[in-house]
Amino acid sequence: MLRFECEGKSYETQGDSAKVSEILSGLGVSKKKVLAAKLDGELLDLTRQVARNGQIEPVSVDSEEGLEVLRHSTAHLMAQAIEKLYPGTKFGIGPCIKDGFYYDVEVAGGKALTEEDFPAIEKEMRRLAGTALPVERTDMTKDEALAFFKKRDDRYKAELISELDAPAVSIYRQGDYVDLCRGPHVPDTSWIRDFKLLSVAGAYWRGDEKNIMLTRLYGTAFASPEELKEHLHRLEEAKLRDHRKLGKELDLFSLHDEGQGFPFFHPKGMAVINRLLDFWRAEHTRRGYDEIRTPLILDRSLWLQSGHWDHYKENMYFTEIDEKPFAVKPMNCPGGILVYKTQIRSYRDLPLRMAELGIVHRHERSGVLHGLMRVRCFTQDDAHLYCTPGQVGGEVAGIMDLCRYIYKDVFGFNYNVELSTRPKNSMGEAVQWEDAEAALRDALESTGTPYRVNEGDGAFYGPKIDFHLEDSIGRTWQCGTIQLDFQMPERFDLTYVGADGKEHRPVMLHRTILGSIERFLGILIENYAGAFPFWIAPVQVKLIPIAEAHGAYAQELIETFRSWGLRTEADGRDEKLGKRIRDAQLQKVPYMIVIGDKEMESRTVAVRARAKGDLGSMTLEDFKALCEVDNALGKR
């Protein structure tokens, strides 16, 4: 006899095992939207036979975990449809990802699948879904599974099985389609109704450029047609906001084959970046930070001492100087530590806040590079804070306040917070990690900050708090981070002289706010769809003289506006006035000023606002006051 509990109810079976679906029925759980369950936290199929007592919890299709099950099952359905349409196709991996799924395939005969093939694949998927094929799990020993897939000439699955460190594996079957998978899956294919194939890309097998290039098909699935429709609308909106497209149209930056992963910033892009950094510097000065700069290339011995050589080497670039090995820095912290060590530090010096807009280089595979969002060279708005153990809570709270001010007050982002704990490749003793995680947890809870725990995702030298921004169309972006580090002070023998005259070990906090300046610019472009707020816009005012006779007054205004600190351009092209106004609108300039006889004679300006339309004629003093109000939005 087995006993199960769910939300205060209990159920006892008559035998020594039972199906999950039978247990839920015995507990009186409605199975209308339930496609899986959790037994003591383990996700299980409804058809799974269990032989142990436990706490059971239904998983509905519209929950986060239920959607993952649905999407993973949809990936299998897509693979089955492809196998039907293109017999002999081989399959790599097909995981669930954020908002969808993908599957890597090698189509028989070397055919390259494109988006033109999607309608036929979707049609076959719907046909298979309509037949309500049961999805059945079978457990095998590792040797049995290896023999099974080798017999099917399925080399990718055989390779995966041979590398598994487990005595047994599971396979899932629906009709004549069989796949290696840990599951769980939907009870039958009729659950899969609201899906869409989205895009196709190339992907090296196992992410290794030395391996064969497979075709990666992306798709998504939802619990209802309304949710799918809403998601597809967001995707269309995201295409319109694509920072790569807008970056080219607005002449902000460019990408070149001669420097893959290394963006080129144009004058207008630099105008945005410089305004952003001016604001960043002023705010950090106000909050007691001192700015430093450290070299791009440093001796290998430093990276061995920091632990990066053992834990991060695959992401680093290397060179030689005078026949000695050097590394291009992937992070700023070891260089900053050397600055700390140039003096004997006292407890009176702490907390010491050292900020650095440091350029770092990290090796990213070409397949994951993406505009400004994933690059090989970027500028971190870094800072390292050295403090006593008793100062940690206050310093973390201060960083969190800075994040809130910049994210919410200045840029209008909502955001959520995660606490990431010790990863598998961590340095240091467990007790140090426990203390570090407790310190961050206390800081979050003492400030009343809601957060979720992201187990095992900390940095190799310490746990961290991550900030995820939500943009104007609901997407989230990880930007800021606060990392609490006991390891680097130990490795570099950092000390300060305490009030007792003895040496003590400082606690080190690593933090970024914007994260990567390049990536944050990409986020801003997409969040605002290129229509930057006035204070950070690359061109704030566009002057449009109606005729050549008005050019001299336009030039005079340019000089006046620039003396006010306004980023100003004039469009005196030999084009119709309407076209020049439309072009200024397409460039998303906050203010357009049309100059004609009336304005020149009265020495006024006719102002048109990007957001509000025609504001009418006004004096230069009134326009200056208007701009000062808008420019202040980026300041406290």
Please identify which of the residues 185, 241, 362, 511 carries the catalytic annotation: 362
Report CA 80 to chain centroid distance, whole Å: 31
Which residue intervals of 528-619 are DSSP H helices? Answer: 551-563, 577-586, 597-602
CB contact at 8 A, 593 and 554: no
Q: Which two tokens stand for residue 212?
A: 């064969």
Is 409 part of the annotated catalytic residue set?
Answer: no
Domain boundaries, the chain: 3-60, 66-240, 266-294+329-527, 534-634
- CB count within 10 Å of CB 408 equals 13
Please identify which of the residues 196, 243, 275, 510 carries the catalytic annotation: 510
Hey, what CATH class is 66-240 in? alpha beta
Question: Which secondary structure element, helix H or strand E, spans residue 323, and what is its range?
Answer: none
Distance in angstroms (rounded) separating the CA atoms of residues 495 and 493: 6
User: What are the residues whose beta carbons fall under 8 Å from the beta carbon of 505, sequence distance 6 or more?
Assistant: 486, 489, 490, 494, 495
pTM metric for this prediction: 0.83
Main-chain phi, psi angles of 100, to 5 degrees: 175, -145
Distance in angstroms (rounded) separating the CA atoms of residues 384 and 375: 23
Please identify which of the residues 181, 333, 377, 387 carries the catalytic annotation: 333
Which residue intervals of 353-429 are DSSP H helices? Answer: 392-404
Please identify which of the residues 284, 353, 376, 384 carries the catalytic annotation: 384
pLDDT number for residue 634: 52
Please identify which of the residues 72, 216, 329, 464 carries the catalytic annotation: 464
Domain 266-294+329-527: give its CATH superfamily: Bira Bifunctional Protein; Domain 2 (3.30.930.10)
pLDDT number for residue 633: 58
Beta bridge partners of 194: 222
Q: Which CATH architecture has domain 534-634?
A: 3-Layer(aba) Sandwich (3.40)
Mean pLDDT by 10-residue block, N- to C-terminus, for the chain (636 residues)? 83 84 86 90 92 91 94 97 94 92 90 93 97 95 93 91 90 95 95 96 86 94 96 92 95 95 96 96 96 96 90 91 95 95 96 97 87 94 95 94 94 94 85 88 91 88 91 88 90 96 95 95 95 96 95 95 96 92 94 94 94 92 93 58
Is 380 part of the annotated catalytic residue set?
Answer: yes
End-to-end Cα, the chain, rounded Å: 67
Distance in angstroms (rounded) separating the CA atoms of residues 274 and 396: 27
Is 382 part of the annotated catalytic residue set?
Answer: yes
pLDDT number for residue 435: 86
Please identify which of the residues 174, 380, 391, 432 carries the catalytic annotation: 380
Between 3.30.420.40, 3.10.20.30, 3.30.2320.50, 3.40.1110.10, what CATH number should domain 3-60 receive?
Answer: 3.10.20.30
368: DSSP letter: G
Please identify which of the residues 179, 188, 381, 382 carries the catalytic annotation: 382
Q: Which two tokens stand for residue 168?
A: 């047994």
pLDDT number for residue 98: 86
